């Protein structure tokens, strides 16, 4: 499953799942571009780790909810690499809030961060992938897109991720004839370090039958498969990386 010399753009690749995906692809010899919104020091730290693996990489400051900045990001990556093979749409703001407690601004921020960013990025890279007659768009969703699990405080996030699933399926149909596959990975909660104690306990109480939450490496393994030639006949699919949460 060789990915050597493929070129990938990963949004939000400085921490958490995005960073794990970037490092995992770098180990396979993929040339990496990551975006970040504000945390330049985190981006530089991630770049140093990627470079230590011998992979070519660079970072671009770009807000994925700004269509102009997204276009600049895609153009920069394509110009730097000469091609663009893999897009991983990873950014996504999240709030633990019930609908009645969610402000209009927070709702809009969640929808823009998760859904609009996926649309803007996909639209920006598709022309490059069409010219190549080959491309992989991999969207990072969430299991909450398909099942609430009794969590009554994720409505905005669940709505945005459900929309990402529908968008993925529609785009897959549009781009199949151009050699581009589009799939979505729905992980359960991966990184608990930024959650409150009550939130972390709630996740642990509903963890998978396997007995642990997924790691960033678990998600990255699914990304590598979807990005590979072996997944050439798979498009418009949802892969739940949740250890059985959906059972």
Q: Which residues contact 115 (CB under 8 A, 6 or more apart)?
A: 160, 163, 164, 167
- Strands, E, within the chain: which ranges? 7-10, 31-36, 57-61, 86-89, 135-140, 180-187, 238-241
With beta carbons less than 8 A apart as the criterion, state whether 180 and 136 touch: yes
Task: Check pLDDT > 50 for residue 144.
Answer: yes
pLDDT digits (tens, 9 = 90+) for 95-120: 888 899 999 999 999 999 999 999 99
pLDDT digits (tens, 9 = 90+) for 219-235: 999 999 999 999 999 99
The range of the structural domain enclosing residue 49 comes to: 7-241
Comparing 2 with 132, which gets the higher pLDDT? 132
Q: Which residues contact 86 (CB under 8 A, 6 or more apart)?
A: 6, 7, 8, 9, 25, 30, 135, 136, 138, 227
What is the CATH classification number for the domain harbouring 188? 3.40.50.720
Task: Check pLDDT > 90 for residue 207.
Answer: no
Find the mean pLDDT for residues 35-43: 91
Asked if residue 99 belongs to a domain, the reply is yes
In this structure, is the dihedral angle defined by the CA atoms of residues 188, 192, 195 and 200, taken in order, positive or negative?
A: positive
Task: Check pLDDT > 60 for residue 65.
Answer: yes
Other residues' Cβ atoms within 10 Å of the Cβ of residue 170? 12
Task: Check pLDDT > 50 for residue 193.
Answer: no
Find the mean pLDDT for residues 2-21: 93
> How far from each other are the two terminal CA atoms of the chain, in whole angstroms?
29
Asked if residue 246 belongs to a domain, the reply is no
Other residues' Cβ atoms within 10 Å of the Cβ of residue 87? 29
Asked if residue 1 belongs to a domain, the reply is no
Task: Check pLDDT > 60 for residue 188.
Answer: yes
Q: Which of 25, 130, 27 is nearest to 74 (CA)?
A: 130
With beta carbons less than 8 A apart as the criterion, state whether 141 and 185 touch: yes
Asked if residue 230 belongs to a domain, the reply is yes
Task: Check pLDDT > 50 for residue 72.
Answer: yes
Comparing 189 with 132, which gets the higher pLDDT? 132
Of 146-150, 188-192, 228-232, which range is least confident?
188-192
With beta carbons less than 8 A apart as the criterion, state whether 206 and 245 touch: yes
Cα–chain center distance at 235: 16
Asked if residue 227 belongs to a domain, the reply is yes
Asked if residue 149 belongs to a domain, the reply is yes
Q: How many domains does the chain have?
A: 1
Task: Check pLDDT > 70 for residue 25.
Answer: yes
């Amino acid at each position: 499953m060789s990915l050597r010399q493929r070129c990938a753009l990963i949004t939000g690749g400085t921490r958490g799942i995005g960073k794990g995906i970037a490092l995992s692809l770098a180990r396979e010899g993929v040339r990496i571009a990551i975006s970040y919104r504000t945390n330049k020091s985190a981006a530089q730290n991630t770049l140093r780790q990627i470079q230590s693996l011998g992979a070519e990489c660079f970072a671009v400051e770009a807000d994925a909810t700004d269509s102009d900045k997204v276009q600049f990001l895609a153009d920069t990556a394509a110009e730097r690499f000469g091609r663009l093979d893999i897009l991983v749409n990873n950014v996504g703001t999240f709030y633990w809030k019930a609908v009645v407690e969610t402000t209009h601004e927070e709702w809009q921020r969640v929808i823009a961060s998760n859904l609009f960013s996926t649309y803007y990025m996909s639209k920006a890279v598709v022309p490059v992938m069409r010219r190549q007659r080959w491309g992989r768009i991999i969207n990072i969703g969430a299991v909450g897109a398909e099942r609430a699990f009794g969590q009554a405080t994720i409505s905005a996030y669940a709505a945005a991720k459900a929309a990402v699933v529908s968008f993925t399926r529609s785009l897959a149909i549009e781009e199949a004839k151009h050699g581009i596959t589009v799939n979505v990975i729905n992980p359960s909660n991966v990184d608990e370090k930024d959650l409150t104690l009550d939130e972390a306990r709630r996740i642990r109480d509903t963890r998978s039958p396997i007995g642990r939450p997924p790691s960033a490496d678990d998600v990255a393994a699914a990304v590598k498969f979807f990005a590979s030639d072996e997944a050439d006949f798979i498009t418009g699919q949802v892969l739940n990386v949740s250890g059985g949460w959906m059972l």
